Amino acid sequence: MTDALLYGLAACGLIGLGLYGLIANPAPLRKILAFNIMGGGVFLLAGAIARRGAGAGFGGDPVPQALLITGIVVAFSATALAVALVLRLNAVAGDTTLAEPPPANDD
């Protein structure tokens, strides 16, 4: 087994764990954490793919490695926006549940 394959398979596990958290954990902050776990898995998969493409004097294919850096920054931006939304929701509504309140019956 090569290191790229090992990390590639580990990435699949991380993606699965993150996905589980995104589906199963009702708290938005925990969904944001799960999103970052899953994102970490996707990035690790890209890193493993970059490692498979080592050659021409590079320890890994520089193109996916560079894309990863962009990806990490984009994921951080997403996390920051999501956290700001959760905190603001908590400040305004006093809770952070995603479930919709039952519709007001004003017939």
Partner 1 sequence: MTAVAMTTPQGWLLVAAVLLPFIGMMVGLVAGGRHAARVAAVVIIAGLAIAAVTVRAVLDAPQVYLLGGWAPPLGVALRADGLAAAMMAVVAVVIAGIALYARRDFATPPCSAEARAPLAFWLLLLAVWGSLNLVFVSGDLFTLYVGLELLTFAGVPLVCLDGRGETLRAALRYLLFALLGSLLYLLGAVLVYGAYATLDIAMLAQLVQPGVLSWTVLALMTVGLLAKTALFPLHIWLPPAHAGAPAAASAVLSALVVKGSWFLVVRLWFDAMPAVVTFSAAQLLGGLGAAAIVFGSIVALRQKRLKLLVAYSTIAQIGYLFLMFPLAFDVAAGTMLHGGALTGGLLQAASHATAKAGMFMAAGLIYAALGHDRIADLGGVARALPVTVLAFAVAGLALMGVLPSGAYLAKKLLLDAAASGGQWWWTAVLQGGAAFTAGYVVLVLTRALRAPPVPLQLATKVSRLSEFAALGLALLSMLLGFAAAGLPAGLISNPLAPKELLPTLLVVAGGFALAAALARRPLFGDGPWRRLTAAAGTGFENADALLRRWPTASLALIIFAAAFGWLLHTGTPA
Partner 2 sequence: MMMLFDVGLVVVLLGLAAWVVLARNAFAAVAAFIAYGLLLTLAWLQLHGIDIALTEAAIGGGLTGALLIGAVTRLGSAPPIAPATSMTLALAAVAAAATTAILAACVLALPDPAPTLAPLVADNIAATGVGNAITAVLLSFRSMDTLLEAIVLLFALAGAWSLGADSAWPGRPGFAQSAPPNGILAYLARILPPIGLVIGIYIFWTGADNPGGKFQGATILAAMWLLTMAAGLTDAPRVGSRWLRAALVAGPLGFIAAGVLGSVSAGAFLALPAGHAKPMILAIEIALMPTLTLILALLIPGPPQRVTS
Q: Which residues bind partner 1 (CB under 8 A)?
A: 15, 19, 22-24, 26, 28, 31-32, 35, 38-39, 42, 45-46, 49, 52-53, 61, 63-64, 67, 70-71, 74, 77-78, 81-82, 85-86, 88-89, 92-93, 96-101, 103, 106-107
d(CA 37, CA 43): 10
Identity of the residue, 10 or 28, whose beta carbon is nearer to partner 1 in the bound complex? 28
- Least distance to partner 2, CB of residue 100, Å: 13
Q: In the 3-class helix/strand/coil scheme, how is 4-57 assigned residue by residue?
A: HHHHHHHHHHHHHHHHHHHHHCCCHHHHHHHHHHHHHHHHHHHHHHHHHCCECC
Say how far apart CA 50 and CA 12 lie, in whole Å.
16
Q: Least separation, in Å, of the C-beta of 104 and partner 2?
A: 21
